[in-house]
């Protein structure tokens, strides 16, 4: 009986490790789990698996997967809740559902990491699977038919910096085979990621120093041979480091010859580079957005970047985990993350200061490697879009969950987990099968256009409702502004046009459109509302000055980042309409 029980437990743990590798590998294969449709597919498959595990008549119940409940659980589940709160004041409502799903998935993998933290053999097997996943990612990146973004290794991610972070984190976990280390190291250089390589060097150097210090502490203090033993250790570490440096140099030479673009980007250090300067403006504008929203959670809050830009740039992400949380989960989420980070550092300090927790040098090394990988992932996420790639977020929370020996105190019932998973499975499955379910605003827009002549009041309500779901809809803002101006609501029409220009402030065609429709409205309403018509004429006249003001106050850095600023000038058509509006103000007389 005892032998059978142990055999079943061993098989269960082996299955857990394989499933971890399978799900993480799947996340890597679909662009690192970046696009919304991929998140919904992944959420559907994952929740279906959890449902199968927790079936009331199930074949086995992995309840330990969800125990114990602690501070980290509170953080991740709190992020899910705050993401839902962001739906109350959305920039794009559907992003709130996606954010909640992302944090929920991170929580599941954190719990999965907790489930293997009891067993060193399970953790060792998981690390081995992770090592081979990293090798696969690197191999795919070097394949000749896989595109190199800007001549740099990007592999399954399609983004070189994300590939660099994944490879660097696995390297810090210290793969067992030297050739694997060398291959992953050369691949890391092949990404050409300055922050990825720079943070890796810093964290690796710190890891190396702490490893030597830890080894010195383990040596018997009163042994006469301790000095000699320490000397041998240092020489051994020196030789290993020299060998790694030599192989890395050879890899660098190969990289320089065959991939000059990656090498050029890698050696372009300094905070004066355009990449760093752009990030500084992302961070500055992100803080401005948070200030304007009073630090409240907003679904898709980061999408409002165009409204605060001082020069035109396009970004699919704030490029900072802190700014991302601040804009989407608000100051509540940021404070929660800060408290959790502080508590984690205090706990780690106590563990390293305790004599009874990490007794052997091997335990200290394993703990130090895990902490190094976590620190590397966290540091790089401060200056890039790391956790927008779900696979990197999954890796972080999985490693974090596996770092300690956790003992269950509270349990979530299997029926509760089953019910929650069923809801997520149903939601993700429906959205993946029919994406239009989360695009209700498009349905309302179509209905509004169809009813424009028959029932314009209904059209207005539908457009306003659509914009409450998604403020980024440029075409809908145009149609709403034209609707207000057609029906003679000049104040609302002017405000709607100005709101559109907040989102398209560097698009000359939008200025031309706004001038045309407002000038037409002024002409049509001159006799009905001469005071407001005069205000509209004046607004049209001022448009060239507004456009020129966009470039007048640019700093030298902004001018460098926007080479086309000298060409951003009012067109002949814009000047003609402005002059026409000026003349109309002189020739029209107020009744």
**Mean pLDDT on 91-98:** 94
Structure-model confidence comparison of residues 109 and 406, the more confident one: 109
Give the model's pLDDT for residue 274.
72
Express as a percent the part of the chain with pLDDT over 90. 47
Reduced to 3 states, what is the DSSP secondary structure of residue 1?
Answer: coil
**Mean pLDDT on 126-152:** 88
Contact of 191 with 160, CB cutoff 8 Å: yes
Residue 157 to residues 53, 152, 574, Cα–Cα distance (Å):
30, 12, 43
**Could you report the per-residue pLDDT of 430-444, keeping only the tens digit for each?**
888 887 888 889 999
**Mean pLDDT on 146-171:** 89
Q: Which of 170-174, 194-198, 412-416 has the lowest mean pLDDT?
A: 412-416
**Does pLDDT of 229 surpass 70?**
no
Q: Which of 109-118, 199-208, 404-413 has the largest mean confidence?
A: 199-208
**Could you report the per-residue pLDDT of 266-278, keeping only the tens digit for each?**
777 665 567 778 8
CATH number of 440-587: 1.25.40.10
**Does pLDDT of 69 surpass 60?**
yes
**Could you report the per-residue pLDDT of 487-508, keeping only the tens digit for each?**
989 999 999 999 999 999 999 9
**Does pLDDT of 574 surpass 50?**
yes
DSSP letter at 454 equals: T
How many CA atoms within 13 Å lie on the side-chain side of 480? 27
Give the model's pLDDT for residue 366.
83
CATH 1.25.40.10 location in the chain: 440-587
pLDDT band at residue 578, thresholds of 50, 70 and 90?
very high
pLDDT band at residue 395, thresholds of 50, 70 and 90?
very high
**Does pLDDT of 199 surpass 50?**
yes
The backbone region for 299, taken as left when phi is positive above 0, alpha when psi lies in -120 to 50, beta otherwise, is beta
Query: What is the rounded (10 degree) CA torsion for 551, 552, 555, 560?
Result: 40
**Mean pLDDT on 539-552:** 93
Contact of 519 with 576, CB cutoff 8 Å: no
- Paired strand residues for 470: 92
Q: Which of 172, 113, 214, 176 is nearest to 372 (CA)?
A: 172
Structure-model confidence comparison of residues 15 and 424, the more confident one: 424
pLDDT band at residue 252, thresholds of 50, 70 and 90?
low
Give the model's pLDDT for residue 135.
94
pLDDT band at residue 60, thresholds of 50, 70 and 90?
very low
Q: What's the CA gap between 76 and 65, in Å, rounded?
A: 15
**Does pLDDT of 373 surpass 70?**
yes
Residues 6+ apart with CB under 8 A from 32: 156, 157, 158, 159, 162, 166, 389, 390, 391, 392
**Does pLDDT of 84 surpass 90?**
yes
**Could you report the per-residue pLDDT of 2-27, keeping only the tens digit for each?**
333 333 444 445 567 788 889 999 99
Give the model's pLDDT for residue 10.
45
pTM for the complete prediction? Answer: 0.88
What average pLDDT does the chain have?
83
Q: Which of 86-100, 266-280, 463-477, 500-514 has the lowest mean pLDDT?
A: 266-280
Give the model's pLDDT for residue 432.
81
| Residues constituting the chain | 591
**Does pLDDT of 258 surpass 50?**
yes
Q: Which of 234-248, 317-331, 368-382, 510-524 has the lowest mean pLDDT?
A: 234-248
Give the model's pLDDT for residue 21.
87
Contact of 581 with 519, CB cutoff 8 Å: yes
Give the model's pLDDT for residue 292.
92
Give the model's pLDDT for residue 391.
95
pLDDT band at residue 334, thresholds of 50, 70 and 90?
very high
Q: Which of 66-75, 285-294, 389-398, 558-567 has the lowest mean pLDDT?
A: 66-75
> Which H or E run contains 295?
none
Contact of 321 with 113, CB cutoff 8 Å: no
Q: What's the CA gap between 317 and 338, in Å, rounded?
A: 21
Question: How is residue 514 written in tokens?
Answer: 């706004």
SS3 percent helix, strand, coil of the chain, rounded to 5, is 75, 0, 25
Question: How is residue 431 written in tokens?
Answer: 């959205």
**Does pLDDT of 224 surpass 50?**
no
Contact of 297 with 89, CB cutoff 8 Å: yes
Question: How is residue 524 written in tokens?
Answer: 């049509």
**Mean pLDDT on 222-250:** 53
Q: What's the CA gap between 435 and 453, in Å, rounded?
A: 30
């Amino acid at each position: 009986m005892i032998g059978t029980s142990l055999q079943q437990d061993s098989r269960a743990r082996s299955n857990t490790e394989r499933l971890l590798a399978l799900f993480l590998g799947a996340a890597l294969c679909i662009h690192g789990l970046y696009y919304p449709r991929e998140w919904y597919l992944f959420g559907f498959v994952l929740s279906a698996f959890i449902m199968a595990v927790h079936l009331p008549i199930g074949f086995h119940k992995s309840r330990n997967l969800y125990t114990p409940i602690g501070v980290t659980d509170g953080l991740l589940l709190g992020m899910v809740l705050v993401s839902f709160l962001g739906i109350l004041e959305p920039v794009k409502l559907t992003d709130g559902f996606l954010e909640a799903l992302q944090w929920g998935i991170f929580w599941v993998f954190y719990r999965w990491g907790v489930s293997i933290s009891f067993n060193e053999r399970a953790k060792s097997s998981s690390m081995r699977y992770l090592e081979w996943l990293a090798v696969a990612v690197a191999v795919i990146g070097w394949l000749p038919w896989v595109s190199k973004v800007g001549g740099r290794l990007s592999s399954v991610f399609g983004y070189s910096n994300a590939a660099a972070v994944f490879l660097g984190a696995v390297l810090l976990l210290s793969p067992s085979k030297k050739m694997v280390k060398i291959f992953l190291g050369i691949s890391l250089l092949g990404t050409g990621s300055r922050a990825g390589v720079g943070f890796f060097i810093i964290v690796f150097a710190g890891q190396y120093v702490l490893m030597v210090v830890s080894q010195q502490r383990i040596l018997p203090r009163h042994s006469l041979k301790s000095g000699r033993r320490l000397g041998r250790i240092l020489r051994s570490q020196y030789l290993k480091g020299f060998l790694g440096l030599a192989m890395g140099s050879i890899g660098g030479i190969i990289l320089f010859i065959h991939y000059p673009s990656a090498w050029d980007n890698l050696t372009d250090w300094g905070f004066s580079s355009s990449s760093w300067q752009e990030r500084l403006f992302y961070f500055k504008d992100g803080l401005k957005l948070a200030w304007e929203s009073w630090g409240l959670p907003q679904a898709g809050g980061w999408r409002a970047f165009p409204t605060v830009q001082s020069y035109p740039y396009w970004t699919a992400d704030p490029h900072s985990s802190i700014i991302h949380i601040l804009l989407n989960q608000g100051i509540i989420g940021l404070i929660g993350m800060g408290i959790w980070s502080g508590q984690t550092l205090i706990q780690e300090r106590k563990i390293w200061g305790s004599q009874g927790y990490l007794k052997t040098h091997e335990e200290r090394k394993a703990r130090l490697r895990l902490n190094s990988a976590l620190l590397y992932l966290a540091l790089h996420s401060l200056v890039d879009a790391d956790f927008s790639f779900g696979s990197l977020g999954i890796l972080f929370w999985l490693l974090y969950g596996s770092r300690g020996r956790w003992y269950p105190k509270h349990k979530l019932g299997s029926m509760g987990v089953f019910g929650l998973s069923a809801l997520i499975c149903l939601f993700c499955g429906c959205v993946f099968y029919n994406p239009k379910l989360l695009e209700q605003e498009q349905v309302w827009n179509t209905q509004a256009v169809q009813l424009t002549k028959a029932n314009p009041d209904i059209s207005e309500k539908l457009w306003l409702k659509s914009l409450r779901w998604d403020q980024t809809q440029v075409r809908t803002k145009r149609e709403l502004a034209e609707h207000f101006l057609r029906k003679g609501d000049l104040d609302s029409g002017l405000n709607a046009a100005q709101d559109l220009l907040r989102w398209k402030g560097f698009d000359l065609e939008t200025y031309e459109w706004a001038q045309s429709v407002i000038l037409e409205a002024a002409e049509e309403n001159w006799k009905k509302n001469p005071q407001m018509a005069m205000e509209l004429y004046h607004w049209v006249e001022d448009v060239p000055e507004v456009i020129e003001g966009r470039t007048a106050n640019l700093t030298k850095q902004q001018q460098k980042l926007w080479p086309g600023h000298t060409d951003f000038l009012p067109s002949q058509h814009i000047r003609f309409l402005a002059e026409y509006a000026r003349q109309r103000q002189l020739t029209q007389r107020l009744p």
